[in-house]
């Protein structure tokens, strides 16, 4: 069994990003990312801070808006519009999910699709569906695909089961894997909580991508011997024996699944670091496009 080292693969991506930032800065362009968080969800706060820190590490411009949970939809959209108009900003990310009084779709629709580094705007969703390479692709599925490519795991002709159908991971993941080209050309099944005999469907997978958002949902009987398992889940589970009071666990019951696998990602240190690496890469790509550098 091989442990897929997401941290190491992310470092490789960051090295390329650092070089690209230096090259752009030499031309007077500093890639800029704005991250907006509404409310004080501790996990979201941690993500937002790590994105901010990574921007600084790579020499990028970073703006962070941490807004109270009571922020109105109109005020949030007003901030998005200011960021749309700000020439120092090339990427805008509004952390999902927002509080329930905010219509997430309306906020995403307000983001300039040329700055939508999350790839959530309908125009970018359409581009991914059409196979148009000019759009932005959601960072988590992009990171999963990069992990497979960098680990030398062939997707062409493989049976891949994507467990989960979210806008952030499952749906775009399926589209990426069925697209033509490296990291694609797979036979993709999208399974979810309503799928009949989920373990049996998952056992058909040469590569299983777990993105269902339930701690340790994928058990040994979901996995065929020799499969590759990519665990997208990052769940906080109470553990009062730890000083933090919680531990992080994936969507996969790692201890019982790992021995059956050809390769598997750990949590933490698997998909998580790749998501942020792809966000940085997409923001740099956006800055290049704004400067008409391709
Ligand atoms: N919440 C969890 N993952 C993501 C992501 O990739 N982008 C945004 N905006 N919110 C998220």
* Stated pTM of the model: 0.97
Question: Ligand 1 in contact with 33 (CB < 6 A)?
Answer: no
Return the percentage of the chain with pLDDT > 70, whole number.
100
Q: How confident is the model at residue 159 (pLDDT cuts 50, 70, 90)?
A: very high
Q: Which atom of ligand 1 is nearest to the CA of 275?
A: 6
Is the distance from the beta carbon of residue 206 to the nearest atom of ligand 1 less than 6 Å? no
Ligand 1 atom 1: residue of nearest CA: 96
Catalytic residue among 95, 115, 145, 251: 95
**Calpha distance 138→173 (Å, rounded):** 9
Task: Write the CB contacts of 65 (distance below 8 Å, at least 6 apart in sequence).
Answer: 34, 35, 36, 37, 79
| Structure confidence at residue 197 (pLDDT) | 98
* Alpha-carbon separation of residue 87 from 82, 114, 115, 256 (angstroms): 10, 12, 11, 50
Tell how far the Cα of 280 is from the centroid of ligand 1, in angstroms: 14
The H-or-E segment that residue 17 falls in is helix 6-26
Confidence of residue 82 (pLDDT cuts 50, 70, 90): very high
| Nearest atom, ligand 1, residue 44 CA | 1
Ligand 1 touching residue 93 (CB < 6 A):
yes
Q: What pLDDT score was predicted for residue 204?
A: 98
Ligand 1 atom at minimal distance to the Cα of residue 93: 9
Q: Sign of dihedral through CA atoms 130, 133, 138, 139?
A: positive
Is 13 a residue whose pLDDT tops 80? yes
Instruction: Judge whether 51 counts as a catalytic residue.
Output: yes
Could you read off the pLDDT of 188-225 as tens digits, one per residue?
999 999 999 999 999 999 999 999 999 999 999 999 99
Q: Cα of 231 to ligand 1 centre, how many Å? A: 16
**pLDDT at position 293 over 90:** no
User: Would you say residue 231 has pLDDT above 90?
Assistant: yes
Averaged pLDDT for residues 20-28: 98
Nearest CA to ligand 1 atom 2: 96
pLDDT at 93 over 90: yes
pLDDT of the residue at 294 = 73
Q: Is 271 in the pocket of ligand 1 (CB under 6 A)?
A: no
The atom number, within ligand 1, closest to the CA of 138 reads 6
The reported pLDDT for the residue numbered 71 is 98
Percent of the chain whose predicted confidence (pLDDT) is above 90: 99
Q: Mean pLDDT, the chain, as a whole number?
A: 98
* Active-site residue identified among 115, 116, 118, 251: 118
Cβ(96) – ligand 1 distance below 6 Å: yes
Kindly indicate the confidence band of residue 250, based on its pLDDT and cuts at 50, 70 and 90.
very high
Helix, strand, or coil (residue 60): coil
């Amino acid at each position: 069994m091989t442990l897929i080292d997401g941290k190491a693969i992310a470092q490789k991506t960051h090295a390329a990003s650092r070089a690209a930032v230096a090259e752009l800065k030499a031309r007077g362009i500093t890639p800029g990312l704005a991250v907006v968080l509404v409310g004080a969800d501790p996990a979201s706060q941690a993500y937002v801070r790590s994105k901010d820190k990574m921007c600084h590490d790579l020499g990028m411009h970073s703006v962070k808006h941490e807004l109270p949970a009571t922020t109105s939809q109109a005020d949030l959209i007003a901030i998005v519009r200011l960021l749309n108009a700000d020439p120092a900003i090339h990427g805008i990310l509004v952390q999902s999910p927002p509080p329930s009084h905010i219509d997430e779709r309306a906020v995403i629709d307000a983001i300039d699709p040329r700055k939508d580094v999350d790839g959530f705007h309908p125009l970018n969703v359409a581009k991914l569906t059409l196979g148009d390479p000019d759009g932005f692709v959601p960072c988590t599925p992009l990171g999963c695909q990069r992990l497979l490519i960098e680990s030398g795991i062939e997707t062409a002709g493989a049976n891949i089961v994507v467990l989960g159908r979210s806008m952030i991971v499952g749906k775009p993941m399926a589209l990426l894997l069925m697209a033509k080209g490296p990291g694609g050309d797979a036979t993709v099944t999208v399974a979810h909580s309503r799928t009949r005999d989920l373990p049996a469907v998952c056992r058909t997978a040469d590569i299983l991508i777990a993105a269902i958002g339930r701690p340790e949902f994928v058990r040994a009987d979901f996995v065929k011997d020799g499969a590759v398992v990519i665990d997208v889940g990052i769940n906080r589970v109470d553990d009062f024996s730890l000083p933090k009071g919680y531990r992080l666990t994936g969507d996969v019951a790692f201890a019982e699944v790992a021995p059956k696998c050809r390769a598997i990602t750990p949590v933490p240190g698997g998909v998580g670091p790749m998501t942020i690496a792809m966000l940085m890469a997409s923001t740099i790509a956006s800055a290049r496009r704004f400067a008409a550098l391709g």
